[in-house]
Structure 1
Amino acid sequence: MSEAVKTYLQQNRDKHLSELGDFLSIPSISALSEHKEDVRHAAEWMESSLKDAGVENVRLMETGGHPVVYGDWLHAAGKPTVLIYGHYDVQPVDPVELWETPPFEAHIRDEKIYARGASDDKGQTFMHVKAIEALLKVNGELPVNVKFLIEGEEEIGSVHLDSFVEEHRELLAADVLVISDTPMLEKGRPAICSGLRGLSSLQIDVKGAKGDLHSGLYGGGVQNSIHALVQILDSMRDSEGRVTVAGFYDKVEELNKDERAAMAELNFDEENLQKELEVPELFGEKGYSMIEQTWIRPTLEINGIYGGFQGEGVKTVIPSEAHAKITCRLVPTQDPDEIASLIEKHIAANTPKGVTVTTKRFDSGKPFAAPVDHPAFQIAAKAYEEVYSAPVAFTRMGGSIPVVETFDRILQVPIVLMGFGLPSENFHAPNEHFHLENFDKGLQTISTYLEKLGTQLNN
């Protein structure tokens, strides 16, 4: 990266952070229908930001749900084309009482910016816009051709993006796809993600009596819906973290010794993570390290459970209904629909007497794994190392970005996952934040990467 671009970024840092604060103030929660207009507002904000940066042909493109923001700059003759993907929607903020500052007011403290979306993914997407702005303002041109595709439904499974990508595959054609929605390995240890776990999610609804019953009059004679739900959930995993749903692991492939050795060589500090999370000990499937448990093993997790009386004090009722939400993170060769069917079969086989159980499927996404020997990955590693002065780790990520598998299948383009967040930044949780060290270095890394692609990648 040229010194002039670096200087521009430094001189405009306060302005850029103020703009990011404005972006973060928009409660663009795609999962909640009452925020539909807020989600659209965030799309319009991104549209305006791209135009201000110098991107051309910027427009909102409608889908069956929230709009996609598209823009491009295509004047680098003979140079590769880079498609940049991100999302402007965010997760719900519950429980709001655990936030130290309001979730949609950006606050900077201890060189971190706090707000919902700061790390996932408004902050990281915003960095790409500002990197393009810096290159255009300083040089008057870009070293590569660029296209932007920013969506508003990633946090609800990108439900309309598969068809959008299919319909607009020519518009989105590129030589490299770049995404910043993944974490680094640790502070000061950059990482390029080469694999994502898939996702399968369900809601379990248990119905007992026609209404809540007095626990004195009916207790001991009528099934309690919460007891029944707990029994079902407890049947899904054993005391050592292994999922007990029949067939769950049938298609899971074990890593070979070399792959497991490579992960061990990363020397991930589990003890430090334990202290950071403030837990008495880590817990996961027996026989695997923390990295293996979260990168290359599938999971089944209870994300929420509710029913009965939730207020202060005691209300002596037998609840009529109980509900739970579960998600499974899946590894390559596992199919989300097949896993959901196995879980539904397990629930049917383990439903206690006296209740009726139904399920509802929600977000799903297929796993993704990429070869890292393509030049686009190696150039990205050089850009990171130049800025961070540290070797790059090629990692996998326990989370899911459902549309990545779609991009891979339809666009057939190398997908470089260049993340700048840290695992400890509370994305999807209260007090989400983004380290400004990585905001600054991330801007430099993205700019450096685009410059290197322009001279080192043959399109």
Structure 2
Amino acid sequence: MDLPGKARAHVDSGALFTELARLVAYPTVSDAPEGRAAVQAYLDEVLTPALTGLGCQVTQHANPDPAGGPFLVGVRTEDPGLPTLLCYGHADVVGEAGQWGEGRSPWTLTAEGDRWYGRGTADNKGQHLINLTALRLVLAERGKLGFNLKFLFETGEEIGSPGLTEFAAQEKALLAADVLIASDGPRLDAATPTLFLGARGGVRIDLDVDLRPGGHHSGNWGGILRNPATTLAAAIASLVDGHGRIQVPALLPPELPGSVREALADVVVEAPDATWGDPRLTPAERLYGWNTLEVLALGAADVDRPVNAIPGRARAVLQLRYVAGTDVDGIAPAIREHLAKRGFPMVSVRTETAFLASRTPVDDPWASWAKSTLDAVAGRPVALLPSFGGGLPNHVFTDVLGLATLWLPHSYPGCRQHAPDEHLLVPVAREGLVLATALFDAFSSAPPTPRR
């Protein structure tokens, strides 16, 4: 049986399900104190044996940031003259956000039709298990990989990857490689194999209009006392209009590069609301190549039990999802200046950056190699996305380690990651294992590409 056939058989035999069930059973929630013990057990009992089984020397490293958990690195060196592949995954999952349907437990893998339910099935245990399995299949077939392998696991991606940037900077020699191949996030859709080259970043924007303690009677004071809720609503509308279009040029990238526009020309994204967003851009360009400003939370007083009073304070949390090229350091000053010019100096602005935006150029030789390899195996064009719509620590690999980054997701947009009933879709997992196996198998003969 050829490698693609062996990959399909591994899924269809139930072997992947059995192994994933064991991984899901570890409640590795990174933002809960009780999750730390599960994270450590997952590293010791699951990932270390998996990497050792691939012939890796495994080391565990303390996190330079006390807010984060440890890092695990496996290194298999076949020949210093061979190319070196760096892989990445994260061992942690999010906590619970409501009840799972049909009495399902998030820590028990449950098969229902083509869906395997369980926390971490899509984000990220199922995805890094597929890649580990693909490497095992290649090694078993060849008796060697034909390249050097490094695999980095972190344990705090769901809380913003604390310490990962510092760790990578300290351990550049340990993590040195020719390219990163990793899996996270969803495909374009369930039917379309996808390769993406980077990720949008995220900036949280807190707006606060704190004018006075307590409320004041709306009849006795209405018309002469500034309303913080009305002020805040107008301030937000001056930043992003009622159709989702950003109104402040400083919150946008300088341009949509021609290479990005070309890469997204054939990418079809079904927009639920055709009137939402910048009409000059296609839905794919808005989602994968441009910035969006969203209101995540907005409040004043008690909306469920309002009283006849002008509130004293109103607050909102916004989020800018941004692509590479945006002046992140200038966001807060630009918003303050914009609001002051429009008569809203009383709106305080505080920003906090999560993941930074970064991407490998669309015309990078590694991107061309990966797409042509995957196209041939998939038997149809693989979607090439300049950036993933969400956030990932891609900048650590591009900006700190100087690597081209290739992300091959093994999930799909409807997987419900971070929500109840997270699941892995079996057809996507099966094809994902075939694609990952083929890509790793082809890596040993990839054309030499100078390191950055």
- Alignment TM-score, normalising by the size of structure 2: 0.83
Aligned to 1:409: 399
Q: In 1, distance between residues paired with 2:359 and 2:176?
A: 20
Match of 1:232 among 223, 230, 235: 235
1:106 to 76, 88, 109: 109
In the TM superposition, 1:235-314 aligns within 5 A as 235-245=238-248, 247-249=250-252, 251-256=253-258, 260=261, 263-266=264-267, 268=268, 270=270, 274=272, 281=274, 283-306=276-299, 308-309=301-302, 314=305
Aligned to 2:172, the other structure's residue is in SS state coil
CA gap of 1:416–1:40, structure 2 versus 1, over 3 A, is same
Aligned amino acid, residue 59 of structure 1: T
Out of 352, 361, 384, the position equivalent to 2:352 is: 361
* 8 Å CA contact 1:330, 1:367 repeated in 2: no
Contact 2:416–2:422 at 8 Å: present in 1 too? yes
Shift of 1:413: 2.5
Distance 1:195 1:88 in 2: 20
CA contact (8 A) 1:384 1:392 kept: yes
Check whether the contact 2:184–2:409 (CA below 8 A) recurs between aligned residues.
Answer: yes
Q: Distance in 1 between matches of 2:446 and 2:42?
A: 35
1:338 aligned counterpart, secondary structure: helix
Amino acid at match of 1:123: G
Going from structure 1 to structure 2, the CA distance change for 1:104 and 1:302 (only over 3 Å counts) comes to: farther
SS of the residue 1:394 aligns to? strand
After superposition, the C-alpha distances for 1:29-54 in whole angstroms (9 at most, x for unaligned) are 43556644444444445534524633
TM-score of the pair, normalised by structure 1: 0.82
Number of residue pairs matched by the alignment: 442
Letter of the structure 1 residue corresponding to residue 255 of structure 2? E
Alpha-carbon shift at residue 169 of structure 1 (Å):
0.4
Q: Distance in 2 between matches of 1:446 and 1:424?
A: 21
CA pair 360-296 structure 1, distance change in 2 beyond 3 A = closer
CA RMSD of aligned residues (A): 3.4
Summarize the Cα distance change of 1:433–1:304 in structure 2 as closer, same or farther, 3 Å threshold. farther
381-390 vs 445-454, greater mean Cα deviation: 381-390
User: Paired residue for 1:30?
Assistant: 30
Could you tell which deviates more after superposition, 439-448 or 343-352? 343-352
What displacement does 1:106 show?
3.0
Answer yes or no: is the 8 Å Cα contact 2:260–2:289 preserved in 1.
no
Worse-matched range after superposition: 56-65 or 114-123? 114-123
Taking the aligned partners of 1:384 and 1:290, their CA distance within structure 2 comes to 25
Q: Judging changes above 3 Å, is the alpha-carbon distance between structure 1 residues 168 and 304 closer, same or farther for their aligned structure 2 residues? A: same
| Equivalent position to 1:387, from 369, 373, 377 | 377
Counterpart of 2:320 (choices 316, 319, 328) is 328
Q: Aligned to 1:87, which of 78, 86, 90?
A: 90
Shift of 1:348: 5.7
Q: Deviations over 1:334-380 (max 9, x none)?
A: 13222243234445666869x77452524141332424441x33442
Residue in 2 that maps onto 1:172: 175
Q: Structure 1 stretches of 5 or more lacking a match?
A: 275-279
In 2, Cα distance between the equivalents of 1:413 and 1:50?
Answer: 25
CA contact under 8 A between 1:367 and 1:400: conserved in structure 2?
no
> Could you report, residue by residue, the CA deviation over 1:93-115 in whole angstroms, capped at 9, with x for unpaired residues?
43x14756444443322312233
Identify the residue that residue 10 of structure 1 maps to in structure 2: 9
Say if 2:335 and 2:349, in contact at 8 Å, map to a contact too.
no
CA contact (8 A) 2:28 2:39 kept: yes
> 1:123 aligned to 2:126?
yes
Closer/same/farther in 2, CA of residues 191 and 41 from structure 1, 3 Å limit: same
Per-residue CA deviation, residues 298-335 of structure 1 (Å, 9 max, x unaligned), is 1111223356447xx63648666554332212223213
- State the alpha-carbon separation in 1 of the partners of residues 189 and 382 from structure 2: 11
Over 3 Å counting, the alpha-carbon distance change for 1:444 and 1:8 in structure 2 is closer
Change (3 A) 1:132 1:398: closer
Which residue is 2:144 aligned to? 141
- Could you tell me how far apart the structure 2 residues matched to 1:305 and 1:116 are? 29
Q: CA deviation at 1:128?
A: 1.3
Of 370, 383, 390 in structure 1, the residue corresponding to residue 361 of structure 2 is 370
Q: Which moved more, 1:167-176 or 1:191-200?
A: 191-200
Give 1:4 shift.
6.1
Contact 1:365 1:400 in 2 (8 A): no
Percent identity between matched residues is 25
In structure 1, distance between residues paired with 2:93 and 2:337: 33
State how far apart, in whole Å, the 2-side matches of 1:122 and 1:67 are.
17
Q: Deviations over 1:186-232 (max 9, x none)?
A: 33322221343232223334435445x58689874866655544343
Q: Shift of residue 414 of structure 1?
A: 2.3
Which residue is 1:440 aligned to? 430
Distance of 2:134 and 2:187 partners within structure 1: 19
Which blocks of at least 5 consecutive residues in structure 2 are unaligned?
A: none
Letter in 2 for 1:287: R
Quick check: 287-296 or 152-161, which moved more? Answer: 152-161
1:144–1:450 contact (8 Å) kept in structure 2: no
1:166-193 C-alpha deviation (Å, 9 max, x unpaired): 1100001111211212433333322221
User: Distance in 1 between the 2:50 and 2:128 partners?
Assistant: 11
**SS in structure 1 at match of 2:386:** strand
**2:94–2:418 Cα contact (<8 Å) kept:** yes
Q: Is 1:341–2:333 an aligned residue pair?
A: yes
CA distance in 2, matches of 1:8, 1:399: 29
